[in-house]
Chains A and B, each alone.
Chain A
Amino acid sequence: MKRLIFILPIIGFVGLAGFLGYGLTQDPKELPSQLIDRPLPEFALPGIADAPNGGPGLVSASFKGEPRLLNVWASWCAACPQEHPVLERIAAEGFPVYGIAWKDKPEDSRAFLARYGNPYSGMGSDFPGRTAIDLGVTGAPETFVVDKKGRVRFKQIGPISPEIWEGQIKPLMQQLRAEA
Chain B
Amino acid sequence: MLAEIGHYALILALLVAMAQAVLPMLGAVRGDAALMAFGRSAAACQAVLIAIAFGALMTLFGQADFSVALVANHSAISQPLPYRLAATWGNHEGSMLLWVLVLSLYGAGIARFGDNLRTTLQARVLSVQAMISVAFLAFALFTSNPFARLSPAPLDGAELNPLLQDPGLVFHPPLLYLGYVGFSVTFSFAVAALLEGRADPAWARWMRPWVLAAWVPLTIGITLGSFWAYYELGWGGWWFWDPVENASFMPWLLGTALLHSAIVTEKRGSLAGWTILLAILAFSLSLIGTFLVRSGILTSVHAFAVDPERGVFILAMIIGATGTALALFALRAPQMKSGALFGSISREAGLTMNNLLLMALTAVVFLGTFYPVIMEAVAPANKISVGPPYYNLVFVPLSVPLLLLVTVGPMLAWKRDDLAIVGKKLLVPAAITAVLLAGLTAWTGLANAVAALGLALGGWLILGAVLVLVRRWWGAGGFSWRLVRTTPAASIGLALAHAGLGFTTAGIAAMTTFAAENILVMRPGETAVAGPLSVTLRDAQEVDGANYRALRARFTVQQGGRETTLVSERRFYNNSRNQTTEAGIGVSVLGNQYVAIGDVQSDARGQGLVVRLYWHPLVGWIWFGGLLMALGGAASLSDRRFRIGAPQQRSLPLAPGLVPAE
Contacts and interface: CB of A to CB of B under 8 A. Distances in A.
Contact of B311 (A6, A13, A18, A24): A24
Contact of A28 (B298, B330, B370, B659): B298
A167 interface: no
A29 interface: yes
Interface of B: 273, 277, 280-281, 284, 288, 291, 295-299, 306, 308, 311-312, 315, 318-319, 322-323, 326-327, 329-330, 333-334, 370, 372-374, 376-377, 381, 383, 659
A26 interface: yes
A53 B362 CA distance: 60
Contacts of B284: 13
A32 B381 contact: yes
A7 B331 CA distance: 8
A23 B377 contact: yes
A19 B373 CA distance: 7
A10 interface: yes
Given A23-B373, A32-B381, A10 B312 contact: no
A9 interface: yes
Contacts, number: 72
A24 B318 CA distance: 14
A9 B333 CA distance: 12
Contacts of A14: 323
Nearest to A22: B377
A5 B333 CA distance: 10
A9 B373 contact: no
Interface residues of A, number: 24
B297 A28 contact: yes
B289 to A, nearest CB: 12
A6 B376 contact: no
Contacts of A9: 277, 280-281, 326, 329-330
A7 B330 CA distance: 5
A115 interface: no
Nearest to A5: B334
Majority-rule SS of B interface residues: helix
Contact of B296 (A17, A22, A28, A32): A28
A14 B308 CA distance: 20
22 contacts: A3-B330, A6-B273, A6-B329, A9-B277, A9-B326, A9-B329, A9-B330, A10-B329, A13-B326, A14-B323, A19-B370, A20-B291, A20-B297, A20-B318, A20-B373, A22-B373, A22-B377, A23-B298, A23-B377, A24-B295, A24-B308, A25-B308
A26 B308 CA distance: 10
Interface in A1-45: 2-3, 6-7, 9-10, 13-14, 16-29, 31-32
A24 B298 CA distance: 9
A10 B308 contact: no
A3 B334 contact: yes
Contacts of B288: 20
Contacts of A32: 381, 383
A27 B288 CA distance: 18
Given A6-B329, A26-B376, A29-B299, A17 B318 contact: yes
Contact of A13 (B322, B334, B383): B322
Given A20-B291, A24-B315, A10 B323 contact: yes
B377 A28 contact: no
B383 A31 contact: yes
Contacts of A19: 370, 373-374, 377
Nearest to B277: A9
Contact of A10 (B273, B291, B296, B330): B330
Given A23-B377, A26-B376, A6 B333 contact: yes
